[in-house]
Structure 1
Amino acid sequence: MFLPLVFQKFRLRFLRYFDTLHAQDRGPLPVTGMRNIRLDSLPNGRPVASRDCALCTRRRIRCDRTVPSCLKCASRNHECPGFSSINLKWDQGIASRGKFAGSMVPIHRGKASVFNDSMRKPHARRPKAITFRSPQTRAELSVSSIRYHGDLLEVASGALHRASQDQYLVNRCARVILLDRLLDHFSTGVVPRLTWIELPDNLWPTTLRSLAQGSRCLYLSLSCLAAAHLSATQIGTISERSSFKQLHDRLRELSLQSVNQGIARVLTNTPSGLSGESLHLWLTETLASIIALCYAEAFRPAPTRWKLHLYGCRTVVDRLSLHRELGPERLVEKFLLKEVADLEALSDFSTPTLMSPISTTRASTLACGNSFWGFTDLIREISFTEKKHQHASGKMSAIDMSAWHTRADESYHGIISNVRDMCGRQGNITCFESVARAHHYATVVYSYQALAPEVIGEATVALEALFTILKDMCTTDNEAMTAFWHDMFFPLLIAGTECSADEGLQAIVEHLYLTALSITGLWCNSASLQFLKSYWQRSQANVHMVWIQYVGNAESGTGPFIVF
């Protein structure tokens, strides 16, 4: 009597096994008219998401996770909401039973006006904001003007675009979640791109992020920086990239307004109600905000505001210097001064203006041990010495290059001696050693270009070694190198200036430039690549001109650029 049931089970197992064998050859099944879709009948090589869609989760069925929309939803003529890391349920009804059954917000039907009237009362008590202290920020950063996708956050459009007073809690929570997720991305995805190698004593993801919780200006600037990185590196549809771009533009506008108000208060008089330690902390937060905006410009192609932000940093640093004379220098202040000094070092060699380095003696003894990455300090001093000699006499006097050689060697050996403690895997150690050697040789070549161009032939050995490293990088596909591509733009620039007559080397430099740009998203460096192309094609009248002199030439067609 149990034979039919056993036969049916055997038949189902056989059909499932048969479908599994032929699923890959058969290809995807047509969606039209399908009601039940077995996951083992779908092709194995199809693109899938990392989580179930929100609708399948709500229906309590197993999602097939097919990108861009799952087949389970399509088979039932449902619109797949996509795959998000956080699914807010405010557009799905807050309850399935009870007095709020089917409601979008916890409001009794027919009593919305009473609820609205109570919200308008001055004494109406609202939940305390989780992150923002300032109600001005919550009002300016309206969720209806921000659409976000991908792994950050995808809030259902129905709840967000009905921006009524009844849903202030939904909008505020969505804003807080979004901006907190941006700060998380800043700590994990952006900070490694702001330093040569990530060290435990980097204050950006620790101390400065903690300061941002109480500073509207710094909070917006760090969120803007994270959104800028996402808009430059996010791999997805055009609409997703456009959403991050809109988010970055909006946060950038709010950040600039906040920083501009802070700078105006610095230039006019002391902010009211601040004195002593609180004033010093406020200046430090303002300086960190401007630096973050300057970093955000690095992820924009052809940036125009980075120089303006550096001038803003100078303004705050000058005011901070007055407080340094009255008390000891703080660790955060030292760290930020080092950040500003490094930014100026990476832009000084493309600008003719003579500016004294920011507290060179102080900045050289900052965090990261005993000046872990000494090449930046050396580059800054080479650029300053070159401009000083040019402004003094118009002609470079004889300089003993052995001293600069010695300093470059000391910087290199200081880095290599500590690299095994900072890089865990052997692959990372090998790649970082190549990056350090590339910077060593590039710095030596740059010292001759800036200080002794007439004897540039003495740097031939260093130049050939630099080209050897770049050729190896071009022919070797090493995944470990992905973490260090953001360190290669300065060696690529120096190598590119010395291959005007070799089209093969030009192709290598351009290929590595484009690789580094696409991986890191630091599109500000595209301006230096355009300069190299112009320098390679310069006229015969300027063929003997050193690239440092060619930067300000009208023929180059490029203005000052930063090699970040």
Structure 2
Amino acid sequence: MSLRMSSLDPNEPRAAKGYAGKSSRDCRTCNRRRIRCDRSLPTCKKCALKELTCPGYGLRIQFGQGVASRGKLTGKALPIIEPAPRESAGSQENFSPKSTTPGEISDAGEDGFEFSTTTLSGAKPVATSRPSYRSVPSGYDGGTFHNQFALDLELSSHVLPDYLQGRPVRELLHYFDHHVATVMPWVDGPENPWRKLLLPLALESESLLLALLALSAEHYTSRRDSSWPLNGGFLSSNYRDRSLQLLARDLRAEVIEDANSPRKTQASTILATILVLCNLEMIRCDTTTWHVHWKAARTITKRWTATDLASTILDDTCRFLLKEAFVYDVFGSSTTFGDNDQIPSSVLTKQEANVFTDWLQLIQDVTRAERRRNDNPFSAEEASVALANMQGLQEKFEYARDRSRTFSRRFDFGTPGPHNDFTVLIDIFHYAGLAYSFQALLNTLDHAVQASLQDHVTGVITAMGQIRNKDAYQHDLVWPLFVVGTQSRHNKDTQDFAETKLLEVMNSTGFSNCYPALEFLRRFWATDPLVVADWMQFARQESRQGKHFLVI
């Protein structure tokens, strides 16, 4: 059956055509078939009609061999970002100035994978309507930002490339300083490393600076529903694409050769750039490009924490970034399936133990045990046996909660009030972690387990009502709210609670990545318990269909 361009709905979104040599390109499947691509979003309909994989329209990232030519990583593989291959003669080049299409990950041999900024391999289009954010007048007024913890760095003392000098860059960094950095750590404060470490580092690294500018511009667009007013037509995607090109250059260089300061800075800026790009992709609800950056962060974290390298290259900034990568990995792994190559908890030394460290390590242990049990249900893994009993789990989580409370006393919140709210946040993650673990490891058909699981869900809901300064903690509530939603299939009230609160979080933070998770919950709530036992079974089924979501 042939799909004619004239038969397409003219109101449907499509990848835009390019300009000035830039291109988001026709999908490579249509290109190989030598037919004109309809460029529909999120997937090419011509591919869908032929039941072919649509690889998308954008850049491609590939993990390959031989990045380092000298030093301790000679011949080792690191991420390489490549432009999409040249199209066949006569094909048109197209460019979407604001790419919001998902990403594809496919195996590319034993040592790596490929990616293109389009749709998941084999995925069917998923309707994702963007949540409505509160109406805020467009236009930028720096005087409206009064974050007491902002650095307000003076850029005149830093040498920046010519094209990054001027008011747009200054104001975007100001916006990051006052707004975006606020929602990056557990709670904002005078020691917020996303502000205190990354902003000065970005002024020494063009790739990281561009990534921060892209993140700020996209966050502003998400919150205001209009483009950054001072950028002179330079979109978030422009900053992002240039950052990716420079990141590729850095990765091709001998990034880890010795222990001198430039190499340490290089290691930090590479991982920082990747993590910022991860968060950039999480702002939009209709992209899964976060997956490729996540995989890159995993690879680099493992390289740089190898026994023979960790003592020589990791400065304080890099240590912070490795911990951030671990946090990202723990939460991301809990809701994604089919990839068990997690960042080991050994990246965190005993000296680096802090709030939620024990909790995160416990969640990772639970996730790994659940994955092993699913992969081999007849195996009696010691870890699974040790974890899979109700009393043992509760004792482990009580220990983790006590440790988090102890560490929280060292926090500098800037003002005395937020400490009580943070103690409540620790309780929220305590109950959410127990609910997640009971579902993952215990027989939920057992009445005692089921009753205890519902008590933990109630504990999450009750604790959320005790937070006084909700705006300061909205960004922390996504994972606990998702857990509440997974246990709400038979309770319309808790469904409404989870849905309402997730929408509130997205409205408050400007990050809409949990909208696909909400869509997943809605589909799960509609399933038959006799057919679909629990949310993890349902998520695995959807994962095999190419439907992925991230809850962080």
Normalised by the length of structure 1, the TM-score is 0.62
Please point out which of 178, 188, 196 is paired with 2:178. 188
Q: CA deviation at 1:546?
A: 1.9
Query: What is residue 198 of structure 1 aligned with on the other side?
Result: 188
**Conserved 8 A contact 1:231-1:244:** no
Counterparts of 1:427 and 1:277 in 2: how far apart (Å)? Answer: 40
Query: What is residue 470 of structure 2 aligned with on the other side?
Result: 481
**Conserved 8 A contact 1:132-1:216:** no
> Aligned pair 1:496/2:485, yes or no?
yes
Query: What is residue 113 of structure 1 aligned with on the other side?
Result: none
Q: CA deviation at 1:563?
A: 0.9
> Aligned pair 1:553/2:538, yes or no?
no
Q: Counterparts of 1:229-240 in structure 2 under 5 Å?
A: 229-234=219-224, 238=226
Counterparts of 1:196 and 1:400 in 2: how far apart (Å)? Answer: 30
**Conserved 8 A contact 2:366-2:441:** yes
Please point out which of 331, 348, 356 is paired with 2:333. 348
> Aligned pair 1:444/2:434, yes or no?
yes
Segment drifting more, 321-330 vs 346-355: 321-330
Counterparts of 2:479 and 2:425 in 1: how far apart (Å)? Answer: 11
1:405-442 CA-to-partner distances (Å, cap 9, x unmatched) read 22211222223345466456676344333322221111
What secondary structure, in the 3-state scheme, does the structure 2 residue paired with 1:500 have? coil
Please point out which of 234, 249, 252 is paired with 2:237. 249
Counterparts of 1:456 and 1:365 in 2: how far apart (Å)? Answer: 39
Counterparts of 2:426 and 2:204 in 1: how far apart (Å)? Answer: 38
Q: CA deviation at 1:521?
A: 1.5
Query: What is residue 317 of structure 1 aligned with on the other side?
Result: 301
Query: 1:129–1:471: structure 2 CA closer, same or farther, 3 Å change rule?
Result: closer
Please point out which of 446, 456, 461 is paired with 1:470. 461
Query: What is residue 228 of structure 1 aligned with on the other side?
Result: 218
**Conserved 8 A contact 2:208-2:269:** yes
Please point out which of 305, 316, 322 is paired with 2:289. 305
1:227-274 CA-to-partner distances (Å, cap 9, x unmatched) read 22222223xx756689799632221222222223333x05xxx26998
Query: What is residue 359 of structure 2 aligned with on the other side?
Result: 375
Normalised by the length of structure 2, the TM-score is 0.63
What secondary structure, in the 3-state scheme, does the structure 2 residue paired with 1:197 have? coil
Letter in 2 for 1:551: A
**Conserved 8 A contact 2:274-2:293:** yes
Counterparts of 1:350 and 1:400 in 2: how far apart (Å)? Answer: 22
Q: Counterparts of 1:45-56 in structure 2 under 5 Å?
A: none
Counterparts of 1:245 and 1:414 in 2: how far apart (Å)? Answer: 49
Query: What is residue 320 of structure 2 aligned with on the other side?
Result: 335
Counterparts of 1:84 and 1:277 in 2: how far apart (Å)? Answer: 38
Counterparts of 1:272 and 1:433 in 2: how far apart (Å)? Answer: 40
Counterparts of 2:284 and 2:471 in 1: how far apart (Å)? Answer: 20
Q: CA deviation at 1:218?
A: 1.1
Q: CA deviation at 1:460?
A: 2.8
Counterparts of 1:405 and 1:521 in 2: how far apart (Å)? Answer: 35
**Conserved 8 A contact 1:535-1:556:** no
Query: 1:187–1:380: structure 2 CA closer, same or farther, 3 Å change rule?
Result: farther
The alignment yields a C-alpha RMSD, in angstroms, of 3.6
Q: CA deviation at 1:300?
A: 1.1
Query: 1:206–1:129: structure 2 CA closer, same or farther, 3 Å change rule?
Result: closer
**Conserved 8 A contact 2:220-2:227:** no
Query: What is residue 508 of structure 1 aligned with on the other side?
Result: 497
Query: What is residue 40 of structure 1 aligned with on the other side?
Result: none
Q: CA deviation at 1:308?
A: 0.2
Counterparts of 2:491 and 2:229 in 1: how far apart (Å)? Answer: 38
Query: 1:301–1:374: structure 2 CA closer, same or farther, 3 Å change rule?
Result: same
- Identical positions, percent: 22
Q: CA deviation at 1:320?
A: 2.3
5+ residue gaps, structure 2, are 1-135, 144-154
1:435-459 CA-to-partner distances (Å, cap 9, x unmatched) read 2222111101111111113447426
Please point out which of 267, 292, 302 is paired with 2:276. 292
Q: CA deviation at 1:483?
A: 0.7
Higher helix share: 1
> Aligned pair 1:391/2:381, yes or no?
no
Q: How many residues matched?
A: 398
1:190-239 CA-to-partner distances (Å, cap 9, x unmatched) read 222112123554432223322221211111112222222222223xx756
Letter in 2 for 1:434: V
**Conserved 8 A contact 1:356-1:384:** no
1:101-138 CA-to-partner distances (Å, cap 9, x unmatched) read xxxxxxxxxxxxxxxxxxxxxxxxxxx98645445xx2
Q: Counterparts of 1:52-451 in structure 2 under 5 Å?
A: 84-85=141-142, 131-134=158-161, 138=163, 172=165, 175=166, 177-198=167-188, 200-234=190-224, 238=226, 247-263=235-251, 265=252, 270=254, 276-321=260-305, 324-325=309-310, 327=312, 329-363=314-348, 365=350, 367=352, 370-393=354-377, 398=385, 399-419=388-408, 422=411, 423=413, 428-451=418-441
1:315-345 CA-to-partner distances (Å, cap 9, x unmatched) read 3234424562562642222111111111111
Query: What is residue 517 of structure 2 aligned with on the other side?
Result: 528
Counterparts of 2:291 and 2:543 in 1: how far apart (Å)? Answer: 22
Q: Counterparts of 1:18-33 in structure 2 under 5 Å?
A: none
Query: 1:433–1:459: structure 2 CA closer, same or farther, 3 Å change rule?
Result: farther
Segment drifting more, 517-526 vs 198-207: 198-207
What secondary structure, in the 3-state scheme, does the structure 1 residue paired with 2:186 have? coil
What secondary structure, in the 3-state scheme, does the structure 2 residue paired with 1:499 have? coil
Query: 1:187–1:540: structure 2 CA closer, same or farther, 3 Å change rule?
Result: same
Structure with greater Cα Rg: 1
Query: What is residue 66 of structure 2 aligned with on the other side?
Result: none
Q: CA deviation at 1:297?
A: 1.4
Q: CA deviation at 1:280?
A: 3.5
Counterparts of 1:413 and 1:309 in 2: how far apart (Å)? Answer: 34
Query: What is residue 146 of structure 2 aligned with on the other side?
Result: none
Query: 1:245–1:227: structure 2 CA closer, same or farther, 3 Å change rule?
Result: farther
**Conserved 8 A contact 1:386-1:450:** yes
Structure ranking higher on relative contact order (CA contacts 8 Å, 6+ apart): 2
